[in-house]
Amino acid sequence: MMVSYILRKILYTLLVLLGVVVVTFFIRPPGDPARVLLGQRADSASVAALREQLGLDKPLPYQITTYMTSLAGGDLGRSIATNRPVAETIIERLPATALLAVTSIAIATLLGILLGVIAAWRPNTWIDTLTMSTSLLGISLPAFVVGLLLVLVFGVGLEWFPISGYVDRGAEHLVLPMITLAIRPLSIIARVTRSSMLDVLGQDYVRTAKAKGLSDATVFVKHALRNALNPVVTTVSAWFAGLLAGTYFVEFIFNWPGIGLAAFNAIEKLDYPMIQGTVLFTAIIFVTVNTLADILYGFIDPKVRLS
């Protein structure tokens, strides 16, 4: 049963990735990409040479086939702006993005589950109200707004933390972008944890455990929390995929040298091979992590496999 479930998920993932590859192929400047990239004053010979270099002079089916063949070999093309392989640039910038995403989701998960459990432990009290109100504010604020506020208050005003740079210059450079990324998932995880805990606490088996004389703490942690973590795992995995794949605005605000900043720079320069590469890599990470989360969810909850 589990093997069949995993195979279905892998097949679905491959079909989604195939669709993503087709979509990313058509990411290019409108009109004649070669003319757009070189400018309207470029001579015809230069435009023709660039079209040949990019394979734009070939029929569309040939271009798609060549694109997919190159992807199968790990070749994402070559950047027009830097003349470097796109894959090389992505691999070079991946550690910075991964560090930011992993630390952010770790903080968000630990604090989110803790706050959600505290709120569920004392529902409809001032603690619950304060926790949920704060989490609602965290959900409502976009990351770029949070980032700018943190820069103004803690970077420019109080001068506690640097407002740009990378961790190799000191861990303090990680604090503001990490908090910026963690605020929204932390708030969502807290609310999901609280809701799931309250739902589980109302189940018959929890009441049975209490009737057997088990302490409230034992019932709360051993019986309720474990079963309440299923939706939390899904939420965390989805947000981790999003953070790992798309820290674009935060990297831009804090000049963090990750994949997101590379994508922004590529958009400014109309470097469509780099745009294609970063979008495709982002989609692959997002789909793959979510698939792994679904498989993990199947191990945790057998009912998922049956459905």
Question: Residue 85 pairs with which residues in a beta bridge?
Answer: 78
Please state which of the ranges 52-61, 87-96, 173-182 shows the lowest mean pLDDT: 52-61
> pTM, whole model, 2 decimals?
0.75
> What is the CATH number assigned to the segment(s) 86-306?
1.10.3720.10
Return the closest-CA partner of residue 13 out of 299, 277, 278, 287.
287
Q: Is the pLDDT of residue 204 over 80?
A: no
pLDDT in the model for residue 235? 78
Question: Residue 303 — very low, low, confident or very high, per pLDDT cuts 50/70/90?
Answer: low
pLDDT in the model for residue 131? 84
Distance of CA 121 to the CA centre of its chain: 30
Tokens of 244: 């790992």
- Domain-by-domain residue ranges, the chain? 2-72, 86-306
Neighbouring CB atoms inside 10 A of 253's CB total 21
CA distance 44 to 292: 49
Q: What is the percentage of the chain residues whose pLDDT exceeds 70?
A: 80
Q: Is the pLDDT of residue 24 over 70?
A: yes
- Mean pLDDT over 47-71 rounds to 78
Q: Is the pLDDT of residue 117 over 80?
A: yes
Q: Is the pLDDT of residue 99 over 70?
A: yes
Please state which of the ranges 12-21, 27-36, 147-156, 266-275 shows the lowest mean pLDDT: 27-36
Taking only the tens place, the pLDDT of each residue in 141-200 is 887 788 888 888 887 777 788 777 665 555 778 888 888 888 888 888 888 888 887 777
Question: Residue 212 — very low, low, confident or very high, per pLDDT cuts 50/70/90?
Answer: low
Cα of first residue to Cα of last residue in the chain, in angstroms, is: 11
Tokens of 43: 């001579």
- Mean pLDDT over 274-298 rounds to 80
